[in-house]
Amino acid sequence: MNKTINHSTDARVTTRKLIDDMLKQRQQMLVLLWELTKVDWHHIDDAAKEMVDEFLTILVDYIAAGHFGLYQRLSEGNERRSRVVDTAKGIYDQIASTTESAVSFGERFEKADEEALNKHLAAELSQLAENLTTRIELEDQLIAAMVGGSEERPDARTKH
């Protein structure tokens, strides 16, 4: 039983670190997104292009932190709390959709020229922001479930 308690405690510490890392990435991404909304895309300079590049890097890091951190843990069946599992099942398809949207955005603008930035970035940033808002709301539901209660699935106690 002591091993079970230690394993559970270690898993919670690891989960909390994954959440904290993802939230830091999220904050950095949101700050840059805000800065990008203030750029005049009709007068693009090197600083604006660098900001787009930095945003895309942080966006990918943020998406990866969730996908390869929290969601991987859940998809591997390493979560025993029914509230967390149920929440994850209820939101995963929407989270996956926002992931696809963000990755697609990144691919379109990764090597975009000034014309593409000028014509498309502002509108697509707006759409991306809406998708990210949805993602953040869903992630917050999952985070609340993960840092809240500790009820386990009945079948989880027999696995070890």
Q: What is the pLDDT of residue 53?
A: 95
Domain of 10, in residue numbers: 2-158
CATH, residue 22: 1.20.120.1370
For 47-54, what is the mean pLDDT?
A: 94
Pairwise CA distance, residues 24 & 40, whole Å? 27
- What pTM was computed for the model? 0.81
Contacts of 110 (CB under 8 A, 6+ apart): 56
Pairwise CA distance, residues 66 & 5, whole Å? 26
Q: What is the pLDDT of residues 66-95, one digit of tens each?
A: 888 777 777 787 788 889 989 999 998 999
Q: How many domains does the chain have?
A: 1
Distance of CA 1 to the CA centre of its chain: 34
Pairwise CA distance, residues 12 & 114, whole Å? 46
Band of residue 6 on the pLDDT scale cut at 50, 70, 90: low
Q: Confirm if 27 and 62 have CB atoms less than 8 A apart.
A: no
Is residue 124's pLDDT more than 60? yes
